[in-house]
Amino acid sequence: MYFSNVFVRALSVTTLAIFSVTTSAPADITYSATADFGEGMFINLNPNGNQLQVNTWNETKTAAPPLLPYIWIACSDRGTVVRMATADHWSVLDQKPVQAGDILGEYRTAPEGCGIGPGFGQDPSRTTVDFDGNVWVANRAYIQDSEPGHPSCGQEWCGHVVKIGSGLSFQWVDRNCNGVVDTSTGLGDIRAWPNPA
């Protein structure tokens, strides 16, 4: 009996010691020194003394590009999406300085044989961007193959989802070994996407 009481008391004290964790309330932090700013990521900002300053154009064009510096916009009536700059920066992908609002590329959202516009396969509607900056585009389709006079994609419905690589994470193949992504360079520069069927 003595052994079991001592054992139980020792076990209780050990258990209390293990589970007695002190928590402190989160403190309010004011970032006001260069060392504080170093805990974050700078996008078109630079620390100067104990201040953050907006980069000048010369500083911006030589700095690393901002995180995901593009927005992708569906152009339903054209059957394309456009890639637009959201910040002034030197674009490694485009090899030139770009400004917010510049349209840097226009891309088909389906092979050419699917038709363009409402009811066909090239009718982009929704876009979403993944962590690598690639865009995923949903194409609408309302017309079935059985309806006369409408082109076919070889499926009952032409609607689908397509991924268009951003080039930012180097997920591309350099087929002609020139070291750059050979892709659309602006509005109206829509490259061929032949229907494989």
DSSP state string for 24-90: -PPPP----SHHHHTTS--SSEEEETTEEEEPPHHHHHHSPPPSS-EEEEEEGGGTEEEEEESS-EE
DSSP state string for 82-95: EEEESS-EEETTTT
Helix (H, G, I), strand (E, B) or coil at 57: helix
C-alpha–C-alpha distance, residues 144 and 167, integer Å: 35
Answering whether pTM is above 0.75, one says no
* 8 Å CB contact between 77 and 117: yes
Q: Domain map of the chain by residue range?
A: 70-164
One digit per residue, the tens of pLDDT, for the chain of length 197 reads: 444 555 445 444 444 444 444 445 556 667 777 777 766 656 567 777 777 777 665 665 565 555 678 899 999 888 899 999 988 888 877 778 999 999 999 999 887 766 555 555 678 889 998 877 889 999 886 555 545 555 555 555 567 788 988 777 667 778 888 877 788 889 999 988 866 55
Q: Which amino acid appears at position 61 of this protein?
A: K
Could you identify the residue written with the tokens 């980069």?
55
31: which 2 tokens?
Answer: 């970032």
